[in-house]
Chain A
Amino acid sequence: MTLSEFLASVEQLAADAPAQIAATATLDEWTAVRTALVGRQAGRITDLMTGLAALPKEAKREAGQRVNAVKATIEAALDARQAALEAAAQGASTPLDRSMPGRAHWRGAVHPVSQVIDEVVEIFRELGFTIALGPEAEGAWYNFGALNFPADHPAMDMHDTLYLGADQVLRTHTSPVQVRTLQQYPPPVRILAPGNVYRRDFFDPSHAPMFAQVEGLVVDEGVTFADLKATLSHFARRFFGAETTTRFRPSFFPFTEPSAEMDVRCGVCRGAGCGVCKQSGWIEILGAGMVHPAVLEAAGLDSETYTGWAFGMGPARTALSRHGIPDIRILYDSDVRVLDQFVS
């Protein structure tokens, strides 16, 4: 065999092999093709290697290099095809309809009111607040007296109370936690107190006899109304969005002085007035104020040394408006079809 005849058969193999390899549809076919191409007994490469020996010595070098190159190409193609066939064999033993649903687990959900509380807690945590709790069955002194409510005064009419005994109430607000915390821990105090509170209000679309409140309290030396404004405005921007505008209106709570109510600009009408904000352009968010010196004194603190501010908000109202829930009773019914809408 001449060198040119030999090289022609090498090129013939180089031309045939890729198509042969690509045509294999199963691993069995692939094995047969592999044997035919590079098999040790009768493979075409093996034949060429054998034929190489018969070439003139000066031609061996060039022919050998070419055969090795073709062999490497064929082996690479075989490996790739093998991998592809194996992958196909694994997946497609039965045809897979990948449009069918995955196997799910039940999903749980946090109550929408708790979700609002979480967000409030999250924002104040960044500012160094920790969580304090207190009892729901509370003494009248903690619920009223320590909070500077005058006995038998119209201010009490703002808190229609459920009584458990002469001096025992279901707390009407989370503010008793202020006094308990100040009695237990020395300033600086920076706490949030989430919890349930009770009013003698019959269920209607916007009232419930028990609802959640989040109380906030800061007491230290040098705490000012400006801090209150700054912190609560910051909260509003984090909670409602960076462009949120706030305003503070004078208000009255026996346990704060000065007292204020914080509104945010209505996001629906942007202040022009609409049904959501009752045409006022503002949405009431929380009540706040500087802790009344009488409250600090009730907790045994020197009201000249320490000042503080506090706020209270009702997360249920936020939950109702943000989700468009028309009736507060829906939050208590616990219909699983409702709860499942609040999967987060």
Chain B
Amino acid sequence: MNVSHAWLARFVPHGRSPEAIRDLLTAHVATVEGLESLRPDLVPFVVGQVIASEKIPETKLSYNSVDDGSGTLLEVVCGAPNVTVGAKYPFARTGTTMPGGLVIEKRKIRGFTSNGMLCSARELGLGEDHDGILTLETSAAPGTPFLEVFPTGDVRIVVDVLPNRPDLLSHRGVAREVAALTGVALQMPEELAALPALTAAVVRGGQEGTAGGITVRIADRADCPQYAAAVIEGMAVGPSPAWLRAAVEAVGGRSINNLVDATNYLLHGFGQPVHAFDAARLGGATLEVRRARAGETLVTLDGASRTLAPNMLVIADGSAPTALAGVMGGQGSEVTESTTRVVLEVAEFAPALVRTTRRAVGLSTDASYRFERGIDGGALEEMLKIGAALLAQVGGGKVTGLVHLGEAPSARPVVTVRPARVAAVLGDAVPAAEIAALLTSVGCAVAASGANGALAVTPPSWRHDIHREVDGIEEVARLRGFERLPDALQGARPGTVPDHPLWVAYRRLRDALVAEGAHEVRPLPFVRGEDASHVRVRNPLAEDEPHLRRSLLESLARRAEYNLTRMQGDVRLFEVGAVFRPSSAALPHEEHRVAALVMGSRRPVHFSEPQPPAYDAWDAKALGERMAAVAHPGAVVTLRAAGEATGALWEIVADDQVVGEIRQLALDAPVWARPAFGIELMLGAMPSAPVAPPQSHAHGTATSQERRAPVRFRTLPTTPAAEFDLALLVPDAVEAAAVEAVLREAGGALLERCVLFDEFRGTGVAEGFRSLAWRLTFRHPERTLKEKEIEGRRQQLLSAVETRLDVRPRVA
């Protein structure tokens, strides 16, 4: 909402600077986003102080030393008679463009160099004063912007009005707040003081009425609670008077003509959108508010031809729709240069219907914006009278008929405001009298109601946002000022909500993966996907990525490819995030997962290792095991070879549940890229079923957090261990894990460790075989093992693998 500082002052003579109004509104009403000078041409001018001055002989000129705050005194020639040493004047530095278009340049006058110009009021476009340069009575330092010490021209105050306060979408609305906050009384702007008196009486009716030869009709009062019109004859369309043009331009509009400008005055001045029809261009002498019929068309003022539908509200003349109600007029009945008889529409349309209509046609206007949010239905007849008189005045016409269908809304329901509740919500006791005064100041009718100082508050017709006690409490809080509320930190009871387990898992995984050297990412979850398998966004941002991902690796793979296109081949990324899949439940199935992607060198280059090895499947396997152990603490984690169909290397199993997988990723990669491996693990479903039906809760059903069994301490051994290696020739068809299982079983309770430490193929190893070597550690808890016992173990192990797996030792 653009508020003109000058126009505002005509509604409430507050006597405050734009800056003061900005601070007042921001602190108590709505945020002011900025102040815009409507004399931007004066922005470059600064305060200059004359430090020394001497006459140039045989001329009227003086040669002056001017301080412009730059730190260097400037020599300036001036022709004015009133130059006084020590005085301050508006000063144009070289390079400044004067309001007339002249650019001030360094130049020589009578052999004296002049570096700028001391300015008169006339030169600044501030009047016709010929008496010389403009003396500034100010204590401001040289160099201060001229506009700060000599506020000139109007200032536009840009207010961010939120949807709950449509009453602030007008100068009168903002003025009401300024009046409430400053105590200065609201008044009618002086330009409305001399409006011609209306002689025509207002014809009232329910759904139909005639005045000034025009019949108006409302088809359904639910669509249009009130419709008023004025008929004005003898109008002359022409330029607007200066004050009207200034008002329209101050809010950012363009002056069109006296008629159109006057309708805009009502909109911006009072928040009432109105529309002027050329009576001569209406098809018949009727205006009807009705739903559009399927197939009807209308050419709106912007020249677009629009096909209408029954969910839209129109104003129809005798033959066809001639305006889109509350949104935009039609070209067919638009006022033109030759208009003499005008029908002025002043109406209240159903907000939801205007919203539907403007969305259906894709057209938001100043009018629809206000109707959607709600206008002041209580002011409709006032607006009709002011509007009719204003049009008659600026157009030199005469009001010949006034009609008003429907009624002003009845008083709003009473809201009870209890001082004790005000204190309970705000944390500060506000006396009942102060509460009453504050609410009264913004137009509420306040009366005592019952015990304990309770107040019966009736909101004014223009406030659509005061329904409950707490709405009244908000008024009290903001009008007094949030800054007046105490803010000492108080103690509080501990909450009942445990940390969400998925958050705990996220933090543990993140620490582990960062320690592994990976970078956390937070990418978008949109993917190409397919309707059959993926959840589709109904109104996607990009048609080529309309689905939600089913897997985090889908996102990580794209991010790795992005890095490859930027020549980055060493990529280690991870994410903890949500994936989605279609579900027959009310909402898609949502699950939180962790995924990591590794590609490129396993370590940074070091002089001891100029070409570090690249990540391979074994790195991925170990990382997967680590992630699974962190994600599923206490669970038994195993990795098993994944089935062919999955395309994965391993699946990750925690306590017999498949919780994830490890795979080599097929990236869109350049030839120099190293293989990329991905690990993805499920952390848990994110329940999205309703916790409880609306207006109810499910307290008491929460289960306590599962606690992990503590680690049991194991006594350290006191006896020495015996260690030996076994190199076995293992056929390719036999898995190392199978051999190890036999070794562990045959090794019995005294086998402490069994580590595969070598694999070899080649010389001395037959085709179809590999040599695998294990290092075995035996220990007896109470005594030292004898040589003979150890040798016996070795033989037992060899015979076990031979009989069970037909695996024999490798003979060197």
Q: Are B587 and A135 in contact (CB under 8 A)?
A: yes
Residue-wise interface mask of A (327-344) relative to B, using a CB-CB cutoff of 8 A (1 in contact, 0 not): 000011111110110000
The 8 Å CB contact of A225, one of B477, B503, B578, B690, is: B477
Q: Are A260 and B482 in contact, with the CB atoms below 8 A?
A: yes
CA of A301 to CA of B496 in the docked complex: distance in angstroms? 15
Task: Compute how far the CA of A154 lies from the CA of B483 in the bound complex, rounded to whole angstroms.
Answer: 29
Our pick among A230, A258, A336 for the contact of B489 (Cβ within 8 Å) is A230
Contacts of B496 in A (CB 8 A): 185-189
Q: Which B residues are CB-close (under 8 A) to A297? A: 695
Residue of B nearest to A294 (CB): B468
CA distance A250 to B24 in the complex (A): 11
Inside 8 A of B572's CB, which chain A residues have their CB?
A: 106, 108, 336
- Smallest Cβ distance from A36 to chain B, in angstroms? 43
From B4-12, B137-145, B507-515, give the one contacting chain A: B507-515
Could you say which residues of chain A place their CB within 8 Å of the CB of B701? 184
How far apart sit A101 and B606, CA to CA, in the bound complex (Å)? Answer: 8
The reply to whether A184 and B541 form a contact with Cβ atoms under 8 Å apart is: no
By the criterion CB–CB under 8 Å, are B474 and A183 in contact? Answer: no
Q: How far is the CA of A181 from the CA of B540 in the complex (A)?
A: 29
Contact partners of A300 in chain B: CB under 8 A: 692, 695-697
* B699 neighbours in A (Cβ, 8 Å): 183-186
State A43–B536 Cα separation when bound (angstroms).
Answer: 96
> For the complex, is A137 an interface residue (Cβ under 8 Å from B)?
yes
Name the CB-closest residue of A to B493: A188
Query: Given A131, A158, A292, which contacts B499 in the complex, CB threshold below 8 Å?
Result: A131
Q: Are A226 and B694 in contact (CB under 8 A)?
A: no
Q: Are B26 and A249 in contact, CB atoms less than 8 angstroms apart?
A: yes
Using known A-B contacts A108-B513, A154-B373, determine if residue A182 contacts B520 with beta carbons closer than 8 Å: no
Q: A252 at the A/B interface (Cβ < 8 Å)?
A: yes
Which residues of chain A (149-181) have a CB below 8 Å from chain B?
A: 152-155, 157-158, 162-165, 167-168, 170, 179-181
Interface size on B, as a range, is: 35 or more
Cβ-defined contact, B517 with A105, below 8 A: yes
- Stretch binding the partner chain, chosen from A2-10, A75-83, A122-130: A122-130
Q: A132-B500, A210-B525, A339-B521 are contacts. A307–B425 as well, Cβ < 8 Å? A: yes
- Shortest A57–chain B CB gap in Å is 58
Q: Are B520 and A278 in contact (CB-based, < 8 A)?
A: no
| Segment from A65-73, A87-95, A139-147 that makes contact with B | A139-147
Spot the interface stretch: A20-28, A44-52, A216-224, A264-272.
A216-224
Q: Nearest Cβ in chain A — how far from B593, in angstroms?
A: 13
List chain B residues, Cβ under 8 A from A152.
352, 355-356
- How many whole Å from A185's CB to the nearest CB in chain B? 5
* Pick from B373, B516, B570, B587: contact of A108, CB under 8 Å: B516
Q: Is residue A290 contacting chain B, with contact meaning CB distance below 8 A?
A: yes
Q: How far is the CB of A233 from chain B (nearest CB, A)?
A: 5
Residues in A with CB closer than 8 Å to B125 are none
Binds A, one of B189-197, B225-233, B434-442, B561-569: B561-569
Q: Which of A106, A114, A182, A209 has the most CB of B within 10 A?
A: A106
Question: Using an 8 Å CB-CB cutoff, how does the interface string of B521-543 with A read, 1 for contact, 0 for none?
Answer: 11111100000000111111100
The answer to whether A113 touches B522 (Cβ under 8 A) is yes
Query: At the interface with chain A, which of B61-69, B160-168, B621-629, B660-668?
Result: B160-168
Is A35 an interface residue, CB under 8 A from the partner? no
B686 at the interface (CB under 8 A from A): yes
A119 close to chain B: CB less than 8 A = no
Stretch at the interface among B29-37, B338-346, B729-737: B29-37
> In the bound complex, what is the Cα–Cα distance between A104 and B523 (angstroms)?
28
Q: In this complex, what residue of A is CB-closest to B31? A: A249
The A interface is mostly helix, strand or loop, or mixed, namely mixed
Q: Does B108 contact A (CB under 8 A)?
A: no
Q: Does B715 contact A (CB under 8 A)?
A: no
Q: How far is the CA of A340 from the CA of B514 in the complex (A)?
A: 11
Closest chain A residue, CB of each to CB of B488: A230
Chain B nearest CB, measured from A211 CB (Å): 9
Cβ of B711 under 8 Å from chain A:
no
Task: Assess whether B101 is interfacial by the CB under 8 Å rule.
Answer: no
Chain B contacts with A in 338-364, Cβ cutoff 8 A: 352, 355-356
A residues less than 8 Å from B428 (CB atoms): 224, 226
A290–B164 contact, CB under 8 A? no
**B494 near A190: Cβ-Cβ < 8 Å:** yes
Interface residues of B in 663-716 (CB under 8 A from A): 686-688, 690-692, 694-702
Assembly CA distance A183 to B691 (angstroms): 6
Q: Is B426 an interface residue (CB 8 A)?
A: yes
Q: Known contacts A153-B163, A224-B426; decide if A106 and B488 are in contact (CB<8 Å).
A: no
- Return the chain A residue nearest B578 by Cβ: A136
Whether, in the assembled complex, A206 has its beta carbon less than 8 Å from a beta carbon of chain B, the answer is no
Determine if B587 and A168 form an interchain contact, defined as CB atoms under 8 angstroms apart: yes
- Min Cβ gap A130→B in Å is 5
In the assembled complex, the Cα of A298 lies from the Cα of B697 at a distance in Å of 9
Contact of B492 among A128, A142, A252 (CB under 8 A): A128
Q: Is the CB of A130 within 8 A of B604?
A: no
Q: Is A227 an interface residue (CB 8 A)?
A: yes
Structural contact, B694 and A146, CB atoms closer than 8 A: yes
Q: For chain B, residues 373 to 410, give those with C-beta under 8 angstroms from any C-beta of chain A.
A: 373
Task: Identify which of A103, A110, A154, A261 contacts B31 (C-beta below 8 A).
Answer: A261
Shortest beta-carbon distance from A178 to chain B in Å: 11
- B742 on the interface (CB 8 Å rule)? no
Q: Which residue of B lies closest to A108 (CB)?
A: B514
CB-CB nearest in chain A for B577: A196
The answer to whether A101 and B697 touch across the interface, beta carbons within 8 angstroms, is no
Interface residue A61 (Cβ < 8 Å from any Cβ of B): no
How long is the Cα–Cα vector from A248 to B701 in the complex, in angstroms? 39
Q: Is B497 an interface residue (CB 8 A)?
A: yes
* CB of B474, distance to nearest CB on chain A (Å): 4
- Check A139 against B588 for contact (C-beta < 8 Å): no
Task: Flag B458-492 by CB within 8 Å of A: 1 or 0 each.
Answer: 00000000001011011001100011011111101
- CA of A200 to CA of B355, assembled, Å: 19
Minimal beta-carbon separation of B641 from chain A (angstroms) = 28
Q: A225-B427, A249-B27 are in contact. Are A165 and B538 (CB under 8 A)?
A: yes
Are B694 and A298 in contact, CB atoms less than 8 angstroms apart? Answer: yes
A208-264: which have CB < 8 Å to B? 208-210, 212, 218, 220, 222, 224-227, 229-231, 233-234, 247-252, 257-261
Q: How far is the CB of B606 from chain A (nearest CB, A)?
A: 5
User: In the complex, how many angstroms separate the beta carbon of A149 from the nearest chain B beta carbon?
Assistant: 10
Contact B604 A233 (CB under 8 A): no
Instruction: Indicate which residue in A145, A162, A180, A258 contacts B691 across the interface (CB closer than 8 Å).
Output: A180
CA distance A45 to B520 in the complex (A): 72
Residues from chain B with a CB closer than 8 A to the CB of A320 are: none
Please, which residue of chain A has its CB at the minimum distance from the CB of B423? A224
B694 contacts across to A, CB distance below 8 A: 141, 145-146, 298
Query: Cβ of A257 and Cβ of B470 under 8 Å apart?
Result: yes
Let me know if A135 and B537 touch, CB within 8 A: no
Contacts A164-B535, A165-B538: A250 and B697 contacting too (C-beta < 8 A)? no
CA distance A227 to B700 in the complex (A): 27
The CA of A259 and the CA of B696, in the complex, are separated in Å by 25
Query: A293 — which chain B residues lie within 8 A by C-beta?
Result: 468, 470
Q: Is there an interface contact between B494 and A128, defined as CB atoms closer than 8 Å?
A: yes
Distance, CA A249 to CA B32, complexed state (A): 10
Instruction: Give Cα A337–Cα B701 distance, bound, in whole angstroms.
Output: 48
Give me 9 A-to-B residue pairs in the complex whose CB atoms sit less than 8 angstroms apart, sorted by A's number: A103-B609, A127-B492, A132-B500, A135-B587, A186-B697, A186-B700, A188-B493, A190-B495, A292-B470
Among all A-B residue pairs, the 4 with the closest Cβ atoms: A106-B517, A226-B427, A224-B427, A300-B697
Q: A103-B608, A137-B535, A300-B697 are in contact. List 9 more A-B contacts (CB 8 A).
A: A108-B515, A130-B497, A132-B500, A155-B164, A183-B691, A208-B524, A230-B489, A300-B696, A334-B521
